[in-house]
A and B are shown apart, each in its own frame.
Chain A
């Protein structure tokens, strides 16, 4: 069935595209002598003498032969294989889109859930307003603002990286407000929390400003340690509650293991290392975590393993981040950067030297710096939708009878939310999530345009500008295949999230 739909819709778009563009129009004002010859040549080359509905089947013949491994999507107007062009563009777009989609999903769902739990509070109202606002802003508009205020101003700021005290306090209050809003509680608790966190963040920022941290960033063993313990507490609190001593021990010893690994890992993370080293790191810590989780208690082994493994994963991230940060000073002072580390255009620096190219951390940092702005723009725009959806979905679930039953049984609030409500609230979200992954090709066109990335978006725009039917159909068919795969994935995911569906099968 899906194949038929794709066939139909590709036929539709082929004809739409073919009838809506006239490649011969470029000759309208041409004064060249061999105009007629060129015209004939183009007609021959693009098979313009075949009417579009029939020409579609010529194209289809190549596409269908993909079934027996000889996929032929034709050549572009400039003579390249469509497959090659798209093959080069896909990784670039995916890098951009996957990072921002994951970020948007994580942040959006977290905030959406929190606003649902803290319904009709200050936090709820402000987040609802912000998400509505972001929902109504065109992405290219945000992108221009980000370019100016984040890239250009930040680069200027790095020339003399001291932050004025007003900005330090302002940042502290905002960060404190968000955190204490999430934690909530009585009014008195809220304000003491606000005061405490604001002072903490202001002090942290002031410290960073005084020590010149922005030019020479890094977390060090202290930063990694604090983050690891923080993650451990957070995961334990969310999964089993801090009252569960065994679970807490599992989380804490995992965090301790990761901290103990900090110096040995520095030896592994040298200039010769690559993406495989990072995998090695994660597999070491997660294996150790599973071991710890398995042996910490005789019952409930699964829960402890899960807690420990999640802690290990989250607390290994800062170690990798720290390694990238250590590279920053060299990056900042290198010739290709010229002391302006946040770029506004393109997906990678063009003028890197041989040694820089061979250094994984250097090129990685370069890619990260280029990713920051477009990722932020895409995340800001798309996270608003997740906030709205997940808030509505969780609110609906919280009004269900089984939630009341769970509360009546005397379960604590954490168990009710995490075990009973959250899973059911995630159910309608899976469809949206999966479809968003499929729609990203279309969604990134504008962002790529604004930031000058050479991904699928620019390929598609070229195809439209040059009346390149083969290229256009290549982009289209990729989008359609992704949509179908997304629908399949959604069906499978439903089974994972909702046991009722599994049983019915």
Chain B
């Protein structure tokens, strides 16, 4: 139990001495960036996320537009989800007759008896011979689009509504918050399913836009609370006395101070968006065939898990990696924006502890 007390003493003392050395002569933004960059897990998550996005978009290419005038830019991966290769799938058989097994073999010949190879379908193909890497990267692409649109719309709408509500107060606040409550009472998945069952077949962008229009409520509440406290502060009075307009006070004075809350709950919104997109697609209310998304790929192949596990592992792995990195980034951002928290990880924390003990 003695250790416990020491821990607390350490955090308090270190926040005094170390932070002043670290923050000398730096702006608020620089301190936050520096704190974030020092958060090793969060930085690793940033790199993983960027790597995944680049990998996915370059390999599958960019495919947008409507059926009448599509925009297609092919990626470096030779196959697309419309290319079917039944012979290739038949050629690679395992698990007692299951076709389309992964051809990737990372072990050299002296370990498992077959030579190291990449093959035509390194992570396998589905029953009719569509390359699984093409499907998974295309699905990830769609999920990322949904995530960005839903998250972006949610953040923008939530910030505006929360800011207006918190800043002006009074009747505007009451009305806006009752509307927010109204949306909050409706369970998210139910709302999503209704939207999805209508807009799912229009393609991924309209679906994402519609979902985004109903994703702002939680964030709006947080932003409102933040604005309620910030608008009573002296610097707001000072700005008003200096003759600043409401718009200027909101955007130039209060919003930068509320950025922490917005960014942190925004990242949570993003990871929530990718999970709820996959859940909706899984239920059949999200992205529809012939287009693909990660949730759709899992739901279509879950029964084949015992005989064709690769159809199940890869889409799931992509969802988890993306959601996990966003959650870690969110955690790092939260620590970076929290002035009370001086996180010292690993060796450094130990040396500080020992020095103070």
Which residues of A pack against B, CB within 8 Å? 1, 4-6, 8-9, 12-13, 16-17, 19-21, 117, 119-120, 132-133, 135-141, 144, 147-148, 152, 184, 398-399, 407, 412-413, 439, 441-443, 445-446, 449-450, 460-461, 464, 475-476, 479-480, 483-484
Smallest Cβ-Cβ distance to B350: which chain A residue: A120
Residues on A with C-beta less than 8 A from B323 are 135-137
- Provide the bound-state CA to CA distance between A111 and B350, in Å: 24
| A138-B275, A140-B282 given; A464·B187 CB < 8 A | no
Name the contact of B182 in the complex, choosing from A9, A138, A141 (C-beta under 8 A): A9
Contact A407 B306, beta carbon cutoff 8 Å: no
Within 8 A of A (CB), among B181-235: 181-191, 193-195, 197-199
Contact B302 A144, beta carbon cutoff 8 Å: yes
Within 8 A of A (CB), among B1-55: 1, 3-5, 7-8, 11-12
Closest 6 CB pairs of A and B: A442-B187, A20-B198, A136-B323, A413-B1, A136-B324, A9-B182
Residues on B with C-beta less than 8 A from A449 are 282-283
Residues on B with C-beta less than 8 A from A135 are 271, 323-324, 327
Contact A141 B316, beta carbon cutoff 8 Å: yes
Contact B189 A442, beta carbon cutoff 8 Å: yes
Contact A475 B190, beta carbon cutoff 8 Å: yes
Q: Enumerate 20 A-B pairs (CB-CB under 8 Å) in ascending A order.
A: A1-B178, A9-B183, A12-B186, A13-B186, A119-B7, A132-B324, A132-B331, A136-B271, A136-B275, A137-B323, A138-B275, A140-B302, A144-B305, A413-B1, A450-B302, A461-B193, A464-B193, A475-B190, A476-B190, A484-B185
Residues on A with C-beta less than 8 A from B349 are 120
Residues on B with C-beta less than 8 A from A445 are 189, 193, 283
Residues on B with C-beta less than 8 A from A441 are 187
Residues on B with C-beta less than 8 A from A1 are 178
Smallest Cβ-Cβ distance to B183: which chain A residue: A9
Q: What's the dominant secondary structure at chain A's contact region?
A: helix
Contact B320 A136, beta carbon cutoff 8 Å: yes
Name the contact of B197 in the complex, choosing from A20, A140, A480 (C-beta under 8 A): A20
How close is B81's CB to chain A, nearest CB, in angstroms? 21
How close is B347's CB to chain A, nearest CB, in angstroms? 12
How close is A436's CB to chain B, nearest CB, in angstroms? 12
Residues on A with C-beta less than 8 A from B181 are 5
Contact B191 A13, beta carbon cutoff 8 Å: yes
| A20-B195, A20-B197, A138-B319 given; A446·B279 CB < 8 A | yes
- Provide the bound-state CA to CA distance between A324 and B185, in Å: 40
How close is B139's CB to chain A, nearest CB, in angstroms? 13
The number of residue pairs between A and B whose CB atoms lie closer than 8 Å in the complex comes to 133
B328 at the interface (CB under 8 A from A): yes
- Provide the bound-state CA to CA distance between A85 and B261, in Å: 43
- Provide the bound-state CA to CA distance between A105 and B184, in Å: 23
Residues on B with C-beta less than 8 A from A5 are 178, 181-182, 185
Contact A148 B8, beta carbon cutoff 8 Å: no
How close is B149's CB to chain A, nearest CB, in angstroms? 19
- Provide the bound-state CA to CA distance between A10 and B182, in Å: 9
Which residues of B pack against A, CB within 8 Å? 1, 3-5, 7-8, 11-12, 178-179, 181-191, 193-195, 197-199, 271, 275, 278-279, 282-283, 285, 295, 298-299, 302, 305-306, 312, 316, 319-320, 323-324, 326-328, 331, 340, 349
Contact B193 A4, beta carbon cutoff 8 Å: no
Contact A138 B285, beta carbon cutoff 8 Å: no
- Provide the bound-state CA to CA distance between A475 and B186, in Å: 11
Contact B279 A479, beta carbon cutoff 8 Å: no
- Provide the bound-state CA to CA distance between A184 and B1, in Å: 9
How close is B52's CB to chain A, nearest CB, in angstroms? 13
How close is A82's CB to chain B, nearest CB, in angstroms? 16
- Provide the bound-state CA to CA distance between A483 and B295, in Å: 28
Contact A136 B8, beta carbon cutoff 8 Å: no
Name the contact of A442 in the complex, choosing from B183, B190, B324 (C-beta under 8 A): B190
Most buried by B among A16, A136, A442: A136
Contact B331 A21, beta carbon cutoff 8 Å: no
Contact A17 B178, beta carbon cutoff 8 Å: no
- Provide the bound-state CA to CA distance between A285 and B191, in Å: 47
Residues on A with C-beta less than 8 A from B319 are 136-138, 141
Known: A9-B182, A12-B186, A479-B187. 15 other contacts (CB 8 A): A20-B194, A20-B198, A133-B324, A138-B295, A144-B302, A152-B306, A399-B11, A407-B5, A441-B187, A442-B189, A449-B282, A464-B285, A476-B186, A479-B186, A483-B185
Contact A139 B198, beta carbon cutoff 8 Å: no
- Provide the bound-state CA to CA distance between A87 and B191, in Å: 22
How close is B18's CB to chain A, nearest CB, in angstroms? 16
Residues on A with C-beta less than 8 A from B184 are 483
Smallest Cβ-Cβ distance to A444: which chain B residue: B189
- Provide the bound-state CA to CA distance between A480 and B181, in Å: 11
- Provide the bound-state CA to CA distance between A46 and B302, in Å: 37
Smallest Cβ-Cβ distance to B179: which chain A residue: A8
- Provide the bound-state CA to CA distance between A61 and B339, in Å: 54
Residues on B with C-beta less than 8 A from A461 are 193, 283
How close is A411's CB to chain B, nearest CB, in angstroms? 11
Smallest Cβ-Cβ distance to A136: which chain B residue: B323
Smallest Cβ-Cβ distance to B195: which chain A residue: A20
Contact A464 B275, beta carbon cutoff 8 Å: no
How close is A321's CB to chain B, nearest CB, in angstroms? 32
- Provide the bound-state CA to CA distance between A443 and B324, in Å: 20
- Provide the bound-state CA to CA distance between A460 and B189, in Å: 11
Contact B298 A136, beta carbon cutoff 8 Å: no
- Provide the bound-state CA to CA distance between A20 and B306, in Å: 38
Contact B4 A413, beta carbon cutoff 8 Å: yes
Residues on A with C-beta less than 8 A from B295 are 138, 140
Smallest Cβ-Cβ distance to B322: which chain A residue: A136
Name the contact of A464 in the complex, choosing from B4, B185, B197, B279 (C-beta under 8 A): B197
Most buried by A among B5, B182, B302, B316: B182
Residues on A with C-beta less than 8 A from B191 are 13, 16
Smallest Cβ-Cβ distance to B349: which chain A residue: A120
Name the contact of B283 in the complex, choosing from A117, A119, A443, A446 (C-beta under 8 A): A446
Smallest Cβ-Cβ distance to B326: which chain A residue: A136
Contact B190 A137, beta carbon cutoff 8 Å: no
Contact B185 A9, beta carbon cutoff 8 Å: yes
Smallest Cβ-Cβ distance to A441: which chain B residue: B187
Name the contact of B327 in the complex, choosing from A136, A147, A399, A464 (C-beta under 8 A): A136
Name the contact of B279 in the complex, choosing from A133, A139, A439 (C-beta under 8 A): A139
Residues on B with C-beta less than 8 A from A148 are 305-306
Contact A6 B187, beta carbon cutoff 8 Å: no
- Provide the bound-state CA to CA distance between A144 and B311, in Å: 12
